[in-house]
Structure 1
Amino acid sequence: MKESDRKSYLASITDRFVKGQMDRRAFLRATSKLGLGAAALGMGMGSRPFMLNKAVAQEEMQPSAEVMAWLKDVGKPFAGTTLKFATESTPPSNAINSQLKKYFEEATGIKVEIEVLPLEQVLQKMTLDVASSLGTYDLYYIDQSWAASFSQDVFDPREQIKAKADLAMPNYNIDDFLPALVDGISKYEDRWVGVPYDIPIFIMIYRRDIYEKLGLKAPTTFDELYTNSAAITKEMGPTTFGYAGQMKSGHYALECEWTAMLWGHGGSIFNPDKVFSGNDERGIAALDYYTKLRDIMPPGVNQWTWDGQGQAVAQGVAASMLSWGEFFPFFDDPTQTKVSGLCEAVIPPQPIALRKPEECGYGEIPGVGHQGGSSLAVSRYSKNPDAAWLFMQWATCADTQALVTTLGGGTGPTRASVYDDPRVKSHARVGAGTTRHLPVVRETIAEYMGSEPDLPEWAQISSDTIPVALGKYFAGSYGSSKEALDDIGTQVAAVLKG
């Protein structure tokens, strides 16, 4: 199939899926054959757990005078231009759209229209734009699983810096982006597919007060996570349980948590021969551990995505979870939860063993800190690429990220310098918009981050094959963990065969 035909067909089936004319399973199968990772689409994920810190927004968050002066000068030729950008609802997108873009618009005279949409609608608009080459959208929000598919449809920011020296932001410093995120999110082969924009990542969150009451220490190993959780459930159940999972059958959330358990037990999803290896000795041990942990979780956990998991901790039903770090500021907000000031964040439990990337297949990088992220890039089809490049630099510069981090509820920055910014550090206290968990996020990104395989069929495997079979296993449909994992291996092989 010609590349132009592939893009047109991809745009067509995405449009049909969004309009309800194609079911999720058929869509995943079709996109995998076209080389698009779409694991997170159509999963009913619900909103991510952040909100704007309104008190900060009213009091103190002002952009750098130097940045504004540069924008005012360099933006003059583009006054009157309108830029369009479609994005998922993320901390940076929401903070920029509702609180910060006015500063960019006032300085440059450039109007920025940001459409905050469900992820499948972002993909719909982007695929239609790429297929038509119309340039309706000037900037693309690129989920990490889409990097391979759209790597040729965006500018490599390194090329823009070299080719547009007169438009280069002073001290933009592209090397400030965390190297692990560049490699794990924003690169495909030798190209940068934008710059790291957003980074949800698994960290360990636990109830300090309950741990202290029972004489427990924060878990540093998987064995400690289980023994601590079992002790809490025994002592405080059925009111409070030791651990909450995200185990909804057939949902990507279940695959995410299982993957962290698998990597933490020295396993991997694929071996170097690109054969499913989640059913080897380490994989079986991981699922057996997950099963044992499941037995001391709250009833109903098999109906929870990360939304239910987070609410379990927020309402005092569970005392710990291994999950997305951006939950932490939500827990610290006394207007939203019952646990403000009672939670602590630590790095994920250390793996029993850890496979090296070269021992895996399809670019898989084992690590208990399961990550999911996105990049921001300028479209090659934009009618206003220079104006879009100015906006992209401003939206991802250190100053804007510092504002986003505080306004956006303590989300994890993608730049190293932002973690050390005094404005960010000043909010490392209990309360809405806290940043006191960010040192843990930073360390997890640098040392413990795990990245899923990169292959076209991963959308179907991760959002259908694996979580459906795991759901059946936890419902008792298999005789053993080995039987379940062997069946997953058989199904994965069939998907890869096509």
Structure 2
Amino acid sequence: MSNKWTKLTTVMLLAAVISACGSGNGNGNSAGTGNNGGNGGGASAGATDTIEAWGETIKSQYEGDTLNLAFASHPSTESFQKLTADFEKLTGIKVKWEVMEETYLKNKQLLDYTGKTGSYDVLMVDGFWMSEYGAKKVVEPLDEYIGNESLTPAWFDYEDIIPAYRNGISKYEEKTYGIPTAGETRFIAYRKDLFDKYGKQAPTTMDEFLELAQFFNGKEDGLYGVSMRAQRGVHAASGLMTIMYNFGGGFINQQTGEVTMNDPKTVEALQFYVDLLKNAPKDVVSYTHEEALSAFMTGKSAMWLDATALAKRILDPASSQVYDKVAFAPTPEGPDGKASALAGWNMSISSLSKNKEAAWAFIVYMNSKVNAKAYVEGGGVPVRTSIYEDQELVAADPSYPVQLAALNDANVLVEKGISWIPPHEKMGQILDRVGYYVSAAMFGEVTAEEAARKAQEELEDIAG
């Protein structure tokens, strides 16, 4: 396998386009400030005593040390910043945040590493970068930290982190290089009022999904069956990827590097996607995730399939006209079984850090089970099973149980050794060309078979 197969130099851009748990309102370069009630606000008295004892131990070793962080502007970053003052008070460790847009973050981190500058201790790392960071030794292996009881207290609870995230976004060659901090998969939102009105159930298979889209399309004035992202280029490719693995298809064999765009299973998935979007609004070919979401929230479509990170907007009365008329379902099972998208962020330790154990203490505290609820309530994106099962949080966001089920489906893909976005240095170019031919098939310019064949030829040239 060629070296370029393990490189991820273009995924920085793709992650921003394809995923949706992206940028919040970052503060640029900022120091950690704010207080969120002490020890996450949710720890019991006994747990608080244990955490304070841990803090005294850390303080005795690292008080006065300073940790420098390189993070993306993101809702999770803003929530972690709210917890920073508590950590500093507890441990005596100072924290300096450097927050920047995702498009600059990776270059900044890699320049620091290649220049051997060692400016940072803790890095925010996209799961799609982890193979490159692990291969180049940009970040520190964490398994010895995780398994060391003197460094990792029980209240951190690593096993509570959802398996899809632990196994799918933070590892390289079976080693752990990051602790998941935020993530998403994809699932369906549907108009429960309309489904009840016409005696329909949420789809569990791809065939049912298509049948329901056809049923609701035009059923009422101004109503379409489904909305999804489908804009020519990366978005159309991303839309296809949402259902492709459920058919057993793929752009590239991730074990051999062989292009598989014209594989019959991939062609079948493409034909399904084209047929499905015949029941979408007429301008769906211009839809990114934003337009697809807007179509659903304004009542134009009976169903929507996209990122779990967008569910809060669907349920928000300030932005959604259907907030009280919706329910959720996992991505339907296909001919090849269950699968679902997976994307997310990690906290990692820079291999050049001179404060590795202090950096690990920061990661443990911020990402611990005892602080998880405060983190989510502060705007963070959940990654723990206990959060998705917290009844108070489920009452506030009824999509949580379905999100958890969808994440379990995402782990099916991980267990097959498949990354939702194949790790290839030219994946941006590959997705753009796939999306071009997907759109050509949607416009009726070529058949699905012809689109796949032409894409196969171009991808073979691109992938080399």
* TM-score normalised by L of structure 1: 0.80
* Partner-residue secondary structure (3-state), 2:215: helix
Unmatched 5+ stretches in structure 1: 1-30, 355-366
SS for the counterpart of 2:86 is: helix
Partners in 2 of 1:263 and 1:307 — Cα distance? 23
2:446 pairs with 1:467: no
Query: Partner residue of 1:445?
Result: 407
User: In the alignment, does 2:340 pair up with 1:369?
Assistant: yes
Alpha-carbon distance in structure 2 between the residues aligned to 1:159 and 1:232: 54
In 2, the alpha carbon distance for the partners of 1:59 and 1:425 equals 22
Q: Aligned partners of 1:49, 1:119: CA distance in 2, in Å?
A: 8
In the comparison of the two structures, how many residue pairs are matched? 437
Give the direction of change, closer, same or farther, for the CA distance of 1:337–1:452 in structure 2 (3 Å limit): same
Q: Aligned pair 1:266/2:248, yes or no?
A: yes
How far did residue 200 of structure 1 move?
A: 0.8
CA distance in 1 between partners of 2:51 and 2:439 (Å)? 52
Do 2:340 and 2:407's aligned partners in 1 also have CA atoms closer than 8 Å? yes
Alignment partner, residue 388 of structure 2? 419
Partner of 2:33: none
2:416 corresponding residue in structure 1: none
Task: Check 1:237–1:70 CA distance in 2 against 1; reply closer, same or farther (3 A cut).
Answer: farther
One-letter identity of the residue aligned with 1:452: W
- Which one is further off, 131-140 or 76-85? 76-85
Per-residue CA deviation, residues 212-244 of structure 1 (Å, 9 max, x unaligned), is 122221111112212212222221242x32211
State the secondary structure of the residue aligned to 1:120: helix
- Matched residue, 2:237: 255
In percent, how many aligned pairs have the same letter?
22
What is the rounded CA distance, in whole Å, between the counterparts of 1:379 and 1:44 in structure 2?
Answer: 23
Once the 2 structures are TM-superposed, how far is the Cα of residue 398 of structure 1 from its aligned partner?
0.8
Q: State whether structure 2 residue 64 is matched by structure 1 residue 80.
A: yes
Q: Counterparts in 2 of 1:9-24, with a 5 A limit?
A: none
| Aligned CA distance change for structure 1 residues 70 and 190 (closer, same or farther; 3 Å) | same
Distance change (3 Å), C-alpha of 1:495 and 1:307: same
1:272-314 alpha-carbon deviations (Å, 9 max, x no partner): 6532223222222221111111111112222221122222222
In structure 1, C-alpha distance between the alignment counterparts of 2:6 and 2:275, rounded to whole Å:
39
The farther-off stretch of 306-315 and 75-84 is 75-84
Distance 1:261 1:419, change over 3 A: closer
Aligned to 1:36: 8
Q: In the alignment, which residue of structure 2 is the partner of 1:191?
A: 175
Q: Secondary structure at the match of 1:426?
A: helix
Selected match of 2:349 from 378, 396, 410:
378
1:207 & 1:190 partners in 2: Cα distance?
A: 42
Q: Which moved more, 1:460-469 or 1:329-338?
A: 460-469
Match of 2:258 in 1: 275
Alignment partner, residue 62 of structure 1: 41
Which AA in structure 1 matches 2:367?
T
Q: Distance in 2 between matches of 1:186 and 1:34?
A: 15
3-state SS in 2 of match to 1:377 = strand
Q: Tell me, in whole angstroms, the C-alpha distance in 1 between the residues paired with 2:435 and 2:339.
A: 18
Which residue of structure 2 aligns with residue 19 of structure 1? none
Supply the AA of the counterpart residue of 2:191.
R
SS in 2 for 1:153: coil
Cα distance in 2 for partners of 1:281, 1:138 equals 47
| Partner deviation per Cα, 1:128-164 (whole Å, 9 max, x = no partner) | 11111222121112212211211122222222245x6
Instruction: Provide closer, same or farther for how the CA distance between residues 250 and 436 of structure 1 changes in structure 2, counting only shifts above 3 A.
Output: same
Amino acid in structure 2 at the alignment position of 1:244: S
Instruction: Give the alignment partner of residue 395 of structure 1, picking from 359, 366, 383.
Output: 366
TM alignment of 1:483-494, pairs within 5 A: 483-494=450-461
Identify the residue that residue 208 of structure 1 maps to in structure 2. 192
Change (3 A) 1:95 1:233: same
Counterpart for residue 428 of structure 1: 394
Match of 2:141 in 1: 156
Over 3 Å counting, the alpha-carbon distance change for 1:444 and 1:470 in structure 2 is same
SS at match of 1:140: strand
Q: Tell me which of 55, 62, 80 is aligned to 1:96.
A: 80
Query: Which segment drifts farther, 67-76 or 379-388?
Result: 67-76
Unmatched 5+ residue regions in structure 2? 26-35, 414-418
1:480 aligned to which of 431, 447, 451: 447
- Which residue of 2 is the match for residue 314 of structure 1? 297
In structure 1, how many angstroms separate the alpha carbons of the residues matched to 2:452 and 2:133? 33
124-133 or 439-448, larger mean C-alpha shift? 439-448
Deviations along 1:319-349, whole A, 9 cap, x unmatched? 2112111211221121222122222111211
Cα 1:58/1:261, change in 2 over 3 Å: same
Contact 1:50–1:408 under 8 Å retained in 2? no
Q: State the one-letter code of the partner of 2:145.
A: Q
The letter of the residue matching 1:417 is S
Describe the SS at the equivalent of 1:370. Answer: coil
